[in-house]
Amino acid sequence: MARQYFGTDGIRGRVGEHPMTAEFALRLASAAARVLAPTGGRVVIGKDTRVSGYMFESALEAGFVAAGMDVAMLGPLPTPGIAFMTQAEQADLGVVISASHNPYFDNGIKFFDRHGAKLSDALEERIESHLGEPAVTRDSRSLGRATRLENAGELYQRFCIATVPAGMQLDGLKVVVDCSHGAGYKVAPRALTQLGADVIPIGCSPNGRNINEGCGSTDPALLALMVKGTGADIGIAFDGDGDRVVMVDHLGKLVDGDQLLYVLGMDRLARGALAGPIVGTLMTNLGLELALRDQGVAFRRAKVGDRYVLEMLRETGGELGGETSGHILCLDKTTTGDGLITALQVLAVMKAGGRGLAELTAGMRRFPQILINVRTPRKVDLAAAAAVGAAVERVERLLHGRGRVVLRASGTEPVVRVMVEGEDATEVKGFAEDIAAAVLQVANG
């Protein structure tokens, strides 16, 4: 059965439009309870700072309580904090209300299992199979109860701090932290301050409608200006739900997820603590792969999406992986992508070696990468398109093994994504345009 609502990261959409309505959220809670806790149990619910979070929180609470589950509401908390609290509270599942890096008028719902891991495709399909059924309402003796946990942020903060070497302090580091007016607006600055950093917070004044607006990991321009303007050692930017992080070095230069993986991988290699391969995705910059190869470090590529990175890490025995966007998995520290924990690991590397981020990333060259989204009048079968295959073969031959071509057809709309990377930006741009033209010609033919 193909999933109708769940994507690579839960269910997401425009608030007020199906499926992001209160009525759907109630039925979703009931369906999830049927599959994951049919005899009752416990669920924790957390959210980011969107104004619509209150509505979905109430609807989900009603659906779970009616189905006989006890509900613990966590309030605003980063997505990885909700994964942690699911385990800490010994809950049967955790629920996240967030649309991550999207604008405030979107929202989403995703689930963690009792181990703090995202649900498998098969479990999501089972939940969807019950969405057409009426919501369950048990008799009064079997209803669940709802409580609000006031110390979830404090517990998660302690957990994050415990992931750095014992006794490590960040004294002497001036850090600008941009929380995107999102879920990490309290816990991230507090954790960094507790470790002794001189913290300059921005993007920490959510009003329900300014999440990700001109700030955060998807728009780090202000962060770069603040780092240079204040003479800070480093800038840290999270997305709206706190599971992604990108950084800015002391020169104001952006450091993305691929570069952060390089920093963490090289540190673990030097300490003899690197387990298995490092895992990226089809879109991970070739520069990371080549830099790791030069150091004798195995690298694997998974499908786009952190859940697929996680699957490959488990299959290969790896512990470190992630995406260019800054969604980094450190499985020896936690179960899911965690922006704050990733940032703390990078700061620990800086502190231990007395080196800045610019120096730590110098060993990895980022290759120019061009992405063209080709909108077609109909879906294109790339495997059967001989002209497209010929164009790709020609480009790959001209790249001489020092570049890559990735074609991905969207699963939800008639769009083909053409990505080419190589050593020369102008050449790469021309190659991408040639392949995009071939795709469009086939689609119109």
Q: H helices of 67-195, where? A: 79-88, 121-128, 152-161, 187-194
Instruction: Return the number of other C-beta atoms located less than 10 Å from residue 139's C-beta.
Output: 7
**CA atoms 275, 281, 284, 289: torsion sign:** positive
Question: CA of 40: how far to CAs of 86, 91, 143, 359, 369, in Å?
Answer: 16, 11, 9, 53, 50
| Residue 426, CA atoms < 13 Å, CB-side half-sphere | 0
Query: Do residues 429 and 371 lie in contact, with contact meaning Cβ atoms separated by under 8 Å?
Result: no
Hey, which residues does 328 pair with through a beta bridge? 322
In whole angstroms, what is the distance from residue 438 CA to residue 389 CA? 9
Q: What is the DSSP letter of 118?
A: B
- Catalytic pick from 100, 180, 217, 325? 100
Which distant-in-sequence residues (6+ apart) come within 8 Å of 151 by Cβ? none
Residue 100 annotated as catalytic: yes
**H or E segment to which residue 66 belongs:** helix 53-66
Angle at 194 between CA 189 and CA 196, to 5 degrees: 100
Angle at 283 between CA 280 and CA 289, to 5 degrees: 50
Query: Do residues 187 and 344 lie in contact, with contact meaning Cβ atoms separated by under 8 Å?
Result: no
- What are the contacts of 401-410 at 24+ separation with CB within 8 A? 402/286, 403/286, 403/367, 403/428, 404/286, 405/431, 405/435, 406/282, 406/283, 407/382, 407/435, 407/439, 408/282, 408/304, 409/379, 409/380, 409/382
384 burial type by CB count under 10 A (0-12 exposed, 13-18 middle, 19+ buried): exposed
Angle at 172 between CA 255 and CA 202, to 5 degrees: 55
Query: Do residues 382 and 407 lie in contact, with contact meaning Cβ atoms separated by under 8 Å?
Result: yes
Active site positions, annotated: 100
